Amino acid sequence: MQLAIRTSAKLNINLSPTPCISSPCYGFLSRHRLHVSKHVTIPQSLGTLLQPLRQNPPSVFSYALIFQYLTAYSNKNLLKLGHQVHAHMVLHGVMPSSFTAAKLVAMYASSGYTQNGFASRALDLFDQMMLENSEVKPNWVTIVSILPACAHSAALDRGKRIHEICRHNGLDSHSSVQTALIGMYAKCGSLADAKQCFDKISPGNRGLVAWNNMITAYASHGRGRECVLAFQDMEASGVQPDAITFTALLSGCSHSGLADVGLSYFYSMKNQYSVVPRLEHYACVVDLLSRVGQLVEAKETIDQMPMQPGPSVWGALLAASHRCRNLQIAEIAAKQLFVLEPENTGNYVLLSNMYAEAGKWEEVNNLRVFLKGHGMRKSPGCSWIEINGNAHLFIGGDTAHPQAREIYKLLEELPEKIKTIGYTPNTSFSLHDISEEEKMLSLTTHSEKLAIAFGILNTRTGQVLRVTKNLRICGDCHTFAKFVSDIYKREIIVRDVNRFHHFQDGFCSCGDFW
């Protein structure tokens, strides 16, 4: 059978992390039945593809082909179908072979980033296959499929375990595996391990993606110098940079205040490196310019772009206006964004925050009424921390955790304790229409504070705390983390939607400018 695999149908990977919550995969799936025509519209050829499932019993091979097909198409609706086919396989007692296992993991992993829960499903599936059936061996494809799921959910311990599995199966010398490990370690907050994996690849085997992964790693951890040095090493080793290299390099420069360096790379990328700037590069430039206070120039750059500025570019301008506290330009950017991506509540929240900071309460109220009228709600912030391989998830004001009492007790004492060394709670980051007292309450129970407090309570002295948040870290929590890192002498690494913050001895690697 000839398969029409569309390899171009790749999923856009989003940095926005989602938590990994364990769920019994097979139990869930066994409640499902195969209702193919009801739930999804499928391409004609897929109908033909599903035909072999009517055999009794269907062969492992039929399943493998379907999983492969669905991976190539990877979209949400087809993943639903994938679930059902997986359920079908379980119900018919067909045991996965190494081959179907790889396909299955790839299927869940490739679609897992856009929707909560699928990355964890891929991870659970992987774990079960490693445990339940020793006949099933991971191959390098299984590994490079599953590692991004660890990266996405910031599951460092699980990632380390998978690295161990690689060593055990002799896969750790495979250059694609090594390359994927760099990304996993970097996104799970361990830059040192990422570097170690990079160094392990023999210089001749360091391909474009390995370099891109390493430069991205430095960029997201705010190590601009290393970013530029790695870029220079890459050039020296004869690997041509591509558009992704420059995205990483430019964002690395902006994350660490190297605005001039970043801008000069932007200007030379087209002429010297023959890489045509794309939307994301313009988004970086807007960001770079705003960091040297040139917001007006940023707006002019957008006006002169050779292509239509998309939401990414206007989003960068909105963030830049917030950074420069320029309400006028913020309104221009927001106006565009409300048309281009009306469903993105983050834009309304950011503009509303700016109005609030400027004391324009009427506009704040207008926005709130608008959001309410359209049934939109601010997406809830959540943070999680992995301890002994388990992810503990917190939502702001959450009391559901078994250790909630201890956590809240610590969060009552901590602000008082760190006030003595200069901390003042900043309620301007909490912009609901509520009293100061209530504001304070919601501020002290932000999800990232809950996760940090939980981490302090459940780890040994000196152990690094790695917290991940689905949104941008709040300014007050940022200050809070600095003081906590100081009095507890703890390194706290927070990954937010944009970048990493390394807190140590009362300072943050972002230099308070992010």
Q: Which CB atom, from 82 or from 148, has the smaller least distance to DNA? A: 148
Site string for DNA, 261-280 (x = CB under 7 A): ------------------xx
* Distance between CA atoms of residues 405 and 376, nearest Å: 32
Question: Does 430 interact with DNA (rule: CB under 7 A)?
Answer: no
Question: Does 64 interact with DNA (rule: CB under 7 A)?
Answer: yes
**φ, ψ (nearest 5 deg) of residue 288:** -60, -45
Number of residues that bind DNA (CB under 7 A): 61
Residues 106-135 that bind DNA (CB under 7 A): 106, 110
Question: Does 305 interact with DNA (rule: CB under 7 A)?
Answer: no
Q: Name 395's bridge partners.
A: 382
Handedness of CA 320, 325, 331, 332 (dihedral sign): negative
Q: 34, 125, 129, 313: which one contacts DNA (CB under 7 A)?
A: 313
Strands (E), 396-440: none
Question: Does 326 interact with DNA (rule: CB under 7 A)?
Answer: no
**Count, residues in the chain:** 514
* Distance between CA atoms of residues 455 and 32, nearest Å: 38
**φ, ψ (nearest 5 deg) of residue 391:** -85, 125
78: its two tokens: 């087809």
Helix (H) or strand (E) holding 503: strand 500-504
Instruction: State in angstroms the smallest separation of the CB of 95 from DNA.
Output: 12
Question: Does 85 interact with DNA (rule: CB under 7 A)?
Answer: no
Question: Does 209 interact with DNA (rule: CB under 7 A)?
Answer: yes
Three-state DSSP at 383 gives strand
Q: Which CB atom, from 105 or from 456, has the smaller least distance to DNA? A: 105
* Distance between CA atoms of residues 192 and 419, nearest Å: 33
Q: 84, 294, 301, 312: which one contacts DNA (CB under 7 A)?
A: 312
Q: Which CB atom, from 197 or from 382, has the smaller least distance to DNA? A: 197
* Distance between CA atoms of residues 378 and 347, nearest Å: 10
Instruction: State in angstroms the smallest separation of the CB of 45 from DNA.
Output: 17
Question: Does 351 interact with DNA (rule: CB under 7 A)?
Answer: no
Cβ neighbours for 473, distance < 8 A, ≥ 6 positions apart: 448, 481, 494, 496, 501
Binding site for DNA (CB under 7 A): 7, 10, 12-13, 15, 59-61, 64-65, 97, 99, 102-103, 106, 110, 139, 141, 144-145, 147-148, 151, 175-176, 178-180, 183, 187, 207-210, 212-213, 216, 220, 243-244, 247-248, 251, 254-255, 279-280, 283-284, 287, 311-316, 319-320, 497-499
